[in-house]
Amino acid sequence: MKQYDKLLKDLAPQKFGIIGKVWITFLAVIILIALYAYYQQFDKGLVITGMRDYALWGVYISNFVFFVAISLVGSLVTAILRLSGVKWATPLTRISEVIAVAAIMMGGLTIIIDMGRPDRILNIFLHGRLQSPIIWDVLVITTYLFISLLLLYYPLLPDFAILKKHFKNKPKTSKWYGKLSLNWTGSAKQEKIYTKSIHTMSVMIIPVAFAIHTVTAWLFATTYRGGWDSTNFGPYFIAGAFVAGAGAVVMLMFILRETYHLEDYITDMHFDKMGKLLVLLCLVYLYFNINEFLIPAYKSTNEEAAHLQGLFFGEFSLMFWLAIIGGLVVPVLVLIFRKGRKPIPLFIIAIIVVIGAWWKRYIIVTPTLLHPLLPIQGVPESWHDYFPTALEWAITFGTLAAALLIMTILFRYLPIVPIHETAEERGYLETEKTETL
């Protein structure tokens, strides 16, 4: 009973401290700046961005691809590891589900931000062509968002019931948790439906998650453009998404563990395992990168040669090598050593991985557009290059801040580590039931 109470005390949602309030204010300020910038864009159009006829996709689309990539971690940790019978991942499931929900919400919103005429969004549904990968993307994002919300909500039912009881001295809070628990009592029938539903979702989310990022890759790969014209793009994107997602989970694991003192639940062992997993994912993604760059470099068609020249030695080389070496090679070299998988080094590596993953999306999207099949002629000099404007950066940082705000708010009201599952795994529930009887 004592152990269970401690677990409840440790894992029940806690009010924001001073750091939490400062953090929320900081995010709110960034979002407000972004809203002002978006008002400018809504009023004047996409002319306020650096995008022109050639670079018609810019930082918004690379940010969108990043969000979709990050969101895939929900399926990795929750579904793949759950179905593989990996028990150590339990404390990380909620974190990855929250990341998935926040990222996919902001991913969808980013697409709307990229529209010159967002007031015409309904036209996508009214006149959209099922033959277009853009429509596939709209359908699959909507589906993934819904299934991610369900996958977040279902495992919360027993936790909500526990929290209802835990907060009985706060009637209002208790009432809300009670409503959200859908009268969960843990009866045999409820358990049966619950287990079956979670299992179904865990199976179903994997193809949907693969579809969402494969379709995002197809937005590029269905064209003949240098750097995009690849049959390998779907798996390449998925491999990269798992790296970015795993990096994001490690970052949040560390921050949440330190903020809420969850050392008993998110242990060094979890960091060690996630470090190993990250090495594996980085190696797989490196393999796909070699595939994506070596073969086009070997063939060196005019378009590919111009594109690769820009990446390897040209204007994008700094970003490219930082993303490849910093975001993939260095993590592997550091994390193969046990000491590298300790919380602090792993956290630092995870930050580099996530930043590298963000820039990797940027150099997937932009350089190709600046190397069109026909020469760029008869346009102003400024159209030959692309770099986001200050307003574009403001909006982009706003979306990132909004994703972090969604996560922060969800972690404020939801248990970061699943209470019911953890108690069950540790055998506390049996003890509690026996003691109650």
Minimum distance, C-beta of residue 200 to other proteins, in the bound complex (Å): 7
Q: Are residues 147 and 204 in contact, defined by beta-carbon separation less than 8 angstroms?
A: yes
Minimum distance, C-beta of residue 3 to other proteins, in the bound complex (Å): 27
The residue behind tokens 């070496």 is 325
Residue 47 to residue 38: CA distance in whole angstroms: 12
Only one of the segments 22-30, 147-155, 263-271, 296-304 lies at the binding site for other proteins (rule: CB under 8 A); that segment is 147-155
Number of H helices, E strands in the chain: 20, 0
Among 3, 25, 200, 300, binds other proteins (CB under 8 A): 200
What does each C-alpha distance from 361 to 232, 240, 326, 356 come to in angstroms?
16, 9, 14, 9
Minimum distance, C-beta of residue 13 to other proteins, in the bound complex (Å): 22
Restricted to residues 94-133, the positions that interact with other proteins (CB under 8 A) are 127-131
Among 208, 319, 322, 376, binds other proteins (CB under 8 A): 208
CA quadruple 214, 350, 337, 73: dihedral positive or negative?
A: negative
Among 89, 113, 201, 252, binds other proteins (CB under 8 A): 201
Class of residue 74 by CB neighbours under 10 A (exposed 0-12, middle 13-18, buried 19+): buried
| Position 185 contacts other proteins (CB under 8 A) | yes
Only one of the segments 201-209, 237-245, 249-257, 317-325 lies at the binding site for other proteins (rule: CB under 8 A); that segment is 201-209
Query: How many residues belong to the site for other proteins (CB under 8 A)?
Result: 30
Minimum distance, C-beta of residue 178 to other proteins, in the bound complex (Å): 11
Among 14, 40, 143, 232, binds other proteins (CB under 8 A): 143
Among 3, 183, 300, 302, binds other proteins (CB under 8 A): 183
Nearer of residues 132 and 302 to other proteins, judged by Cβ: 132
The token pair at 373 is 């099949």
Minimum distance, C-beta of residue 126 to other proteins, in the bound complex (Å): 9
Among 24, 35, 86, 139, binds other proteins (CB under 8 A): 139
Among 54, 88, 194, 383, binds other proteins (CB under 8 A): 194
| Position 15 contacts other proteins (CB under 8 A) | no
Minimum distance, C-beta of residue 379 to other proteins, in the bound complex (Å): 18
Residue 52 to residue 38: CA distance in whole angstroms: 18
Q: Is 207 helix (H, G, I), strand (E, B) or coil?
A: helix
Q: Give, rounded to a whole angstrom, the gap between the first and last alpha carbons of the chain.
A: 12
Amino acid at 6: K
Report which of 169, 168, 186, 188 is spatially closest to residue 178, judged by C-alpha positions. Answer: 168
Minimum distance, C-beta of residue 146 to other proteins, in the bound complex (Å): 6
Instruction: Report the 10 Å Cβ neighbour count for 425.
Output: 14
Minimum distance, C-beta of residue 161 to other proteins, in the bound complex (Å): 10
| Position 83 contacts other proteins (CB under 8 A) | no
Among 47, 193, 295, 373, binds other proteins (CB under 8 A): 193
Nearer of residues 35 and 134 to other proteins, judged by Cβ: 134
Minimum distance, C-beta of residue 231 to other proteins, in the bound complex (Å): 17
Nearer of residues 203 and 373 to other proteins, judged by Cβ: 203
Residue 16 to residue 151: CA distance in whole angstroms: 26
Minimum distance, C-beta of residue 129 to other proteins, in the bound complex (Å): 5
Only one of the segments 62-70, 180-188, 262-270, 285-293 lies at the binding site for other proteins (rule: CB under 8 A); that segment is 180-188
Restricted to residues 267-326, the positions that interact with other proteins (CB under 8 A) are none
What does each C-alpha distance from 240 to 135, 147, 285, 359 come to in angstroms?
23, 22, 6, 12
Minimum distance, C-beta of residue 83 to other proteins, in the bound complex (Å): 16
The b/e string for 21-56 (b: 16+ C-beta within 10 A; e otherwise) is eebbeebeebbebbeebbeebeeeebebbbbbeebe
Give the ranges where 88-181 is alpha helix by DSSP (H).
90-113, 122-127, 133-153, 156-166, 171-180
Q: For 74, which DSSP code?
A: I
Residue 220 to residue 226: CA distance in whole angstroms: 10
Binding site for other proteins (CB under 8 A): 127-131, 136, 139, 143, 146-147, 150, 153-154, 157, 182-185, 187-190, 193-194, 196-197, 200-201, 204, 208
